[in-house]
Chains A and B, each alone.
Chain A
Amino acid sequence: AQKVTQAQTEISVVEKEDVTLDCVYETRDTTYYLFWYKQPPSGELVFLIRRNSFDEQNEISGRYSWNFQKSTSSFNFTITASQVVDSAVYFCALSEGPYNNAGNMLTFGGGTRLMVKP
């Protein structure tokens, strides 16, 4: 069975600090997909990134970067020079591959609440 663990329940940083949110996953499939979503205080879920298991290249998008390491089953998310607007709950999620008849079922981690103070 698939599982996603976000061990950090809350992180507090001061604006302009870099912060890394950890995500560790478990799956028996060789084909799977990993996602990060952001939930700001307004409550909606915003898609940030999707990565498949065959692509271990790190990705950078502005101040956001993601480090995918299959050897440690981790998909960590770093925010560089954090800003107050980054304050939110961030969720990591996993979707297993083609042998799962349930299709694109997402398993979510418990989320990490990031608080960026001015």
Chain B
Amino acid sequence: DADVTQTPRNRITKTGKRIMLECSQTKGHDRMYWYRQDPGLGLRLIYYSFDVKDINKGEISDGYSVSRQAQAKFSLSLESAIPNQTALYFCATSDIGLGDTQYFGPGTRLTVL
């Protein structure tokens, strides 16, 4: 079984709808991250969480919110989806050491019409 899973893997929705993307991990890591990938821009950080009680905004948090339900679960919500949020979304986890490697889930491809 994969260490980091994301659901759904693909989603098509309409402008204005609320969408939740979910991430679960079995690696036992405390830190979790949400990124979005757009062509030519690499990955950009949306939100990150160091533990269940710690949530922080990343580079591009506007229009998104997150919830850390447990050490192993980190959800990303789009309260009112808009077309420019069409992208590939990745969840990642890492241990707490400095420079520890981030391990990524398989990604969720979201299309907002």
**A interface list, Cβ under 8 A from B:** 4, 9, 31-33, 35, 37, 43-45, 47, 50, 52, 91, 93, 95, 97-98, 102-106, 108-111
Question: B101 touching A111 by the CB < 8 A rule?
Answer: no
Query: A109–B44 Cα gap in the complex (Å)?
Result: 10
How far, in Å, is A45 (CB) from chain B's closest CB?
Answer: 4
A45-B99 contact given A103-B48, A105-B45, A110-B41, CB 8 Å threshold: no
Contacts of A97 in B (CB 8 A): 98-99
Residues of A within 8 A of B41 (CB): 110
Query: A-B contact count, CB below 8 Å?
Result: 63
Whether B62 is near chain A, meaning CB under 8 Å from some CB there, is: no
What class of interface size applies to chain B in its complex with A?
20 to 34
Distance between Cα atoms of A52 and B107 in the complex (Å): 27
Q: Are B42 and A111 in contact (CB under 8 A)?
A: yes
CB distance from B15 to the nearest CB of A (A): 24
Contact yes or no, B42 A95, CB < 8 A: no
Interface centre among B31, B42, B101, B102 (most CB of A within 10 A): B42
Contact with B94, one of A4, A45, A104, A109 (Cβ below 8 angstroms): A104
Give 1 or 0 for each of B40-72: 1 = CB within 8 Å of chain A CB. 111111001010000010100000000000000
Residue B104, interface by CB 8 Å: yes
B94: chain A residues within 8 A (beta carbon) = 104
* Pair A91/B99 contact, Cβ less than 8 Å: no
Residues of A near B98 (CB, < 8 A) are 31, 33, 97-98, 104
Assess whether B99 is in contact with A33, with CB atoms less than 8 Å apart.
Answer: yes
